[in-house]
Structure 1
Amino acid sequence: MDSVAPNEARDHYVIGIDAGGTNTRCALATLDGTVIGTGSGPGANPNSGGDPENALYTALDEATQGVDRSKVAAGVFGIAGAGAAGRPLLLSASRKAWGELGMKGEPEVFTDIAINFASGTAASCGIVVFAGTGAGAAVVSDGEILRRADGYGYLLGDEGSAVWIGRCGAKAALSAMDGRGAPTVLAEEVPRALLGSEVLADLMPRRLAMAGRGLPPAGPRPYSPLLTQAIVKEVYGRPPASIGRLGPVVSRAAEAGDEVAMKIVEEAADWLLMDVDAVRPALPEPDAATAPVVMAGSVLGRGPVARLVGEGLRERFGVEPQQAGDGAAGAARMAIRRLAG
């Protein structure tokens, strides 16, 4: 990107994008860091079934409505899946979306991991542990990932992510329903969250009618192949990332004391802390003892997994972990720094 003279700063803009597997968020900011426009789009990570070019274009278009796009001086895109394996595809998608909207030059593309770290701290080096659609941990230094653990997508990893938690919750519900697993409130809550009350009423009319009249259901939910197959059809009929919507269902069940759900969230926290332990040796000296740790993603924003991971990080580092901020705004600030440098 071309440099911008100080007296022109008020007339120019930067763009920051934080694109994950579930959604894409864009921030348009002036060169003093003030966000003046926002946009959103669907998930951009192709490993989770996303269409990156469409997602990026949609968010960019919305954020830049009503401004002179030729005045956009720089852009930083943090995109899930933009590591070595997925980088060529995402670079191409980013440049196409940028160019189709008439903006000059081209954006810089980083992984969303680096953006997550930058959104939570002004430090140049430290650890970020993340759990949203994907999950893992990394040591980041000046935007470069020195070491990463997990973040391999739903087929090969992402243990502790919303998708992983949701999948575990759905499996636990089906196991309870067909008799293989322990009883759990998830056998009630997962079908309701996936299918909705109207579909459940069609599949289990007698049971729900009794509940509607204030009568207690007659024992645990009886096995229903129609219901289990409806769950299977719903899960397999949508993009893999969509099962992440069951993550909050599992978390609420755990908070209410359901033993099966509690085991799922405890295992999720264990995986995420294992990721931190795996990357920690890559912290450069002499900053290793004081390096900040940033927690990022929907799973680590609040709830039982966030609480357990926070406790584990305090034990390991003796410092309070920092919460990631708005990723798109953080990417915009990163664009400003790189433009000035």
Structure 2
Amino acid sequence: MKQWLLIIDGGATKTACAVVHAESGDIEYSISAKGSNYQAIGVESATAILQELLANVETFLQKYPNSQIAVATFALAGIDSPKDHAIVVAIVQNALQTTQLQIDTLIIENDAEATLLGVTAGQAGALLIAGTGAIAYAFDGQRIVRVGGWGHRAGDEGSGYWLGQEVVRAIFKMEDGRGKPTILKEAVYQSLGIQDVTELAEWLFRPSYTNAQLAKMGSFVAKAVEQKDACAIEISQQAAHELAILANAVLKKINYQNTPFNLYCNGGAIKHNPLILKIFTEEITFMYPQVDIILCQHQPITYLIERTKRAYDCL
């Protein structure tokens, strides 16, 4: 009987799905959909996205009638408390009930926590993710701790969404005469197809507005830094400082004692803005000389596959 691994990585912006051969670890089928964080889009929409992905998985597996899913990992954003976990478990179970898929071992956990276990190969280490949101996890070999990731309304400092907020704030201040001139204005106006600041204000309250769209505005900061834009440089400096605070806090939570230790970093906000990465690295290295900062080189689902494969190997 052919054994499969099913991995679903549901973030705020995108949900990736892969079916992997359990023995070889090779990806045999993959598909993606929009973000499935139930806190952002609601339970019904999150369930519908998972149902669509699982229906495609079921169609693929029909080519292999004598097979089964040995381990399925649903690594989903929005699991921030026991209550969240119960809600997401119900979402996953409801989505699975619309299929005939048979799963031997089902893992449902926070996407960042699952990625941490994958990227560290189960060894002590920490992971900071600065994507649409910002969160940090650390594993001391026995327990996992978390800092940040409290959402865009009151947290996620240094994230792509936070960068987007700062970009829009800078434009409003510039247009009011309260802030510095910035070339970020042209980038945002061109991206949205708007002409003036009143249209920008209107865009923020359109029914079609999404957090992912605002996070995209944050991606303009790195290019503006290359052009020596003072406002973009200040935003990047503050983002780096906020992320360093996040990393420092998670290391303190595991009582890190200045021994050799890997801190992995992922997410576009830190990977695609060299100034943010440079300042972040300087601040962390100053505080913790033996911490090695490593940029993740693969998509998160790659690390989730490794995490799921280890779970399968332990069966």
TM-score normalised to the size of structure 2? 0.87
Deviates more, 1:56-65 or 1:92-101: 56-65
Is residue 43 from structure 1 mapped to residue 15 from structure 2 by the alignment? no
Inter-partner Cα distance in structure 2 for 1:60 and 1:310:
40
Residue 300 (structure 1) aligns with? 270
Is residue 78 from structure 1 mapped to residue 72 from structure 2 by the alignment? no
Inter-partner Cα distance in structure 1 for 2:112 and 2:74:
11
What is the number of equivalent residue pairs in this alignment? 301
Inter-partner Cα distance in structure 2 for 1:185 and 1:138:
35
Give the structure, 1 or 2, with the largest relative contact order (CA under 8 Å, sep 6 or more).
1
Against the structure 1 CA distance between its residues 254 and 285, is the aligned structure 2 distance closer, same or farther, given a 3 Å change threshold?
closer
- Contact 1:163 / 1:244 at 8 angstroms: preserved in 2? yes
Q: CA RMSD in A?
A: 2.3
Inter-partner Cα distance in structure 1 for 2:27 and 2:253:
34
* DSSP-derived class of the 1:321 partner: strand
Against the structure 1 CA distance between its residues 278 and 228, is the aligned structure 2 distance closer, same or farther, given a 3 Å change threshold?
same
Residue 116 (structure 1) aligns with? 115
Query: Could you list the per-position Cα deviations for residues 92-136 of structure 1 after superposition, in whole angstroms to 9, with x for gaps in the alignment?
Result: 112222332321246311111112323433242211111001102
Deviates more, 1:302-311 or 1:137-146: 137-146
Inter-partner Cα distance in structure 2 for 1:144 and 1:40:
32
Aligned counterparts, 1:239-258, within 5 A: 239-258=210-229
Residue 280 (structure 2) aligns with? 309
Deviates more, 1:115-124 or 1:82-91: 115-124
Query: Could you list the per-position Cα deviations for residues 223-244 of structure 1 after superposition, in whole angstroms to 9, with x for gaps in the alignment?
Result: xxxx222112222221223200
Residue 248 (structure 2) aligns with? 277
Inter-partner Cα distance in structure 1 for 2:109 and 2:198:
40
- Contact 2:58 / 2:99 at 8 angstroms: preserved in 1? no
Shift in Å at residue 339 of structure 1? 2.5
Residue 127 (structure 2) aligns with? 128
Residue 17 (structure 1) aligns with? 8
- Contact 1:273 / 1:313 at 8 angstroms: preserved in 2? yes
Shift in Å at residue 62 of structure 1? 4.0
Shift in Å at residue 144 of structure 1? 5.4
* DSSP-derived class of the 1:130 partner: strand
**Unmatched segments (≥5 aa) in structure 1:** 1-7, 204-226
Against the structure 1 CA distance between its residues 251 and 61, is the aligned structure 2 distance closer, same or farther, given a 3 Å change threshold?
farther
Shift in Å at residue 258 of structure 1? 0.4
Query: Could you list the per-position Cα deviations for residues 118-158 of structure 1 after superposition, in whole angstroms to 9, with x for gaps in the alignment?
Result: 34332422111110011022213569532x22110000100
Inter-partner Cα distance in structure 1 for 2:278 and 2:89:
36
Inter-partner Cα distance in structure 1 for 2:38 and 2:212:
11
Residue 181 (structure 2) aligns with? 183
Residue 91 (structure 2) aligns with? 93
Is residue 58 from structure 1 mapped to residue 49 from structure 2 by the alignment? no
Inter-partner Cα distance in structure 1 for 2:97 and 2:295:
34
TM-score normalised to the size of structure 1? 0.80
- Indicate the percent of aligned positions where both proteins have the same amino acid: 24
Deviates more, 1:121-130 or 1:131-140: 121-130
Shift in Å at residue 319 of structure 1? 4.3
Inter-partner Cα distance in structure 2 for 1:139 and 1:244:
25
- Contact 2:259 / 2:291 at 8 angstroms: preserved in 1? no
Is residue 137 from structure 1 mapped to residue 109 from structure 2 by the alignment? no
Inter-partner Cα distance in structure 2 for 1:141 and 1:101:
39
Against the structure 1 CA distance between its residues 245 and 269, is the aligned structure 2 distance closer, same or farther, given a 3 Å change threshold?
same
- Contact 1:114 / 1:140 at 8 angstroms: preserved in 2? no
- Contact 2:124 / 2:138 at 8 angstroms: preserved in 1? yes
1:310 is matched by which residue type in structure 2? T
Inter-partner Cα distance in structure 1 for 2:244 and 2:231:
20
Inter-partner Cα distance in structure 2 for 1:298 and 1:259:
21
Shift in Å at residue 89 of structure 1? 1.7
Against the structure 1 CA distance between its residues 284 and 267, is the aligned structure 2 distance closer, same or farther, given a 3 Å change threshold?
closer
Inter-partner Cα distance in structure 2 for 1:116 and 1:123:
10
Inter-partner Cα distance in structure 1 for 2:127 and 2:289:
13
Shift in Å at residue 285 of structure 1? 6.9
Shift in Å at residue 53 of structure 1? 1.5
Deviates more, 1:11-20 or 1:100-109: 100-109
- Which of 1 and 2 has greater Rg? 1
Shift in Å at residue 63 of structure 1? 4.9
Shift in Å at residue 87 of structure 1? 1.6
Against the structure 1 CA distance between its residues 277 and 332, is the aligned structure 2 distance closer, same or farther, given a 3 Å change threshold?
same
